[in-house]
Amino acid sequence: NAGVTQTPKFRILKIGQSMTLQCAQDMNHNYMYWYRQDPGMGLKLIYYSVGAGITDKGEVPNGYNVSRSTTEDFPLRLELAAPSQTSVYFCASSDQPSGANVLTFGAGSRLTVL
Amino acid sequence: AQRVTQPEKLLSVFKGAPVELKCNYSYSGSPELFWYVQYSRQRLQLLLRHISRESIKGFTADLNKGETSFHLKKPFAQEEDSAMYYCALSGLQGAQKLVFGQGTRLTINP
C-alpha cells in the first residue's frame, strides 16, 4: 500500500532550469494538494485539485504549474527555477475536502536552486 | 481570510513536565481545526482534530471559540514527543483547503 509517492526525493537545479516534481497516489482520492515547507514559515499551499481535469491556485502559485489528467497523478512543474523556490515540497491527498477528512502526505521532495 | 498563528517556533521542556503548544486562528465561519505532527525522518501525519474530541498519545486540544484558540496539551511530556507540530484550519462549508500555521518544534529534554 504505497499511499502518496513523490519523486525525486532530492534535486539540485541551476537558476533558469525547469523540472517536474511527480506525485502519485493509489488510494483513488479525488483531492490532491501541493505544499511547500520553508523553515519558520510552515506549509504554504501552491496548487490543489478537486478531481481529474480540475486545478486551482493556492496561496503561492507564482512560478509553478500543475496538471491533473488522471485521478492518480498530480505533477508540479517549475519553469525557470529561482533561488526563492528552494524548499521542501509536499504532495498530499484526501478522499473528501480537507475540512472533512485528513490529508495523507508524501515523504517530500527537497529542491535546491543554485 | 483563514489564518493560523503558532507564536512559538521552538519549545523545550523536560521529560515529565506539562506541555502546551499554542495555536490561534482567524476565520469568520465555523472552523475545523487539526494538529499535524512530523517526527524525525517521518511523514507529516494527523495527530488529532477537534471534531473527534479524542486524546491521541496523551495529547488533547480544546477549541475555544471565544479566544479563537486550539492549544495542544499533554500533562506529562515524553522524549518521543519531540517533533515538529503544525496547527491547521479549514472551513466546514465545502472548503477544500487546509491552512497551516508556522509550526512549533518541540524538544523534550531527558
pLDDT, one tens digit per residue, over B28-56 is 888 889 999 999 989 999 999 887 777 88
**Model confidence band, residue A87 (pLDDT cutoffs 50, 70, 90):** very high
Residue B94 pLDDT: 52
Which residues of A lie inside 8 Å of B (Cβ-Cβ)?
Answer: 31, 33, 35, 40-45, 48, 50, 58-59, 90, 92, 97-100, 102-103, 105-108
Q: Are A86 and A13 in contact (CB under 8 A)?
A: no
- Give pLDDT, residue B99: 87
pLDDT cut 70: percent of chain A above it: 95
Q: Which residue of A has its CA nearest to B105?
A: A40
d(CA B47, CA B58): 10
Which pLDDT band holds residue B96 (cuts at 50, 70, 90)?
A: low
CB atoms within 10 A of CB B93: 10
pLDDT digits (tens, 9 = 90+) for A39-63: 778 899 999 998 999 999 988 999 9
E-only strand ranges, chain A: 4-7, 10-13, 19-25, 31-38, 42-51, 54-57, 64-66, 76-78, 87-94, 104-105, 109-113
pLDDT value at B18 more than 60: yes
Q: Who wins on pLDDT, A2 or A63?
A: A63
Based on the number of CB atoms within 10 Å of its own CB, is A82 exposed (0-12), middle (13-18) or buried (19 or more)?
Answer: middle
Residue of chain A with shortest Cα separation from B48: A102
In whole numbers, what is the pLDDT of chain B averaged over residues?
Answer: 90
Size of interface A-B (CB pairs under 8 A): 62
